[in-house]
Amino acid sequence: DAGVIQSPRHEVTEMGQEVTLRCKPISGHDYLFWYRQTMMRGLELLIYFNNNVPIDDSGMPEDRFSAKMPNASFSTLKIQPSEPRDSAVYFCASSRPGLQETQYFGPGTRLLVL
């Protein structure tokens, strides 16, 4: 099993640009989570999906952030327009059916907004 796959692994962009982060969950996992990690705020849950449907997006910072899951094997997190304070490591995680199962994290995308 390849595990959770995220791309890109690193992204450097300028303020105001659109950023799209991608995630492929583990096959058979029907929960998908997007997290953001910073030194100041730690690990924050942004949004999670169940069977491709967004269930809880209360952690999404503001309207500049949006997430989609068009099918069971792909999800995107988009930031438009990006700001320097969005610089962080963004993790995608997936878990098996049954919400309180183990979460398997991807390697993360390190985003730097200049």
Partner 1 sequence: GQQVMQIPQYQHVQEGEDFTTYCNSSTTLSNIQWYKQRPGGHPVFLIQLVKSGEVKKQKRLTFQFGEAKKNSSLHITATQTTDVGTYFCAGALYNFNKFYFGSGTKLNVKP
Instruction: Note the residues at the interface with partner 1 (CB under 8 A).
Output: 42-45, 48, 55-56, 91, 93, 99-100, 102-108
Taking the least distance from each CB to partner 1, the nearer of 56 and 83 is 56
Taking the least distance from each CB to partner 1, the nearer of 16 and 61 is 61
Min dist CB 49 to partner 1, Å, is: 12
C-alpha 43/C-alpha 89 separation (Å) is 9
Min dist CB 93 to partner 1, Å, is: 8
Min dist CB 111 to partner 1, Å, is: 15
| Long-range contacts (CB closer than 8 Å, 24 or more residues apart) made by 48-55 | 49/75, 50/99
Contacting residues for 73 by C-beta, under 8 A, at least 6 apart: 24, 25, 27
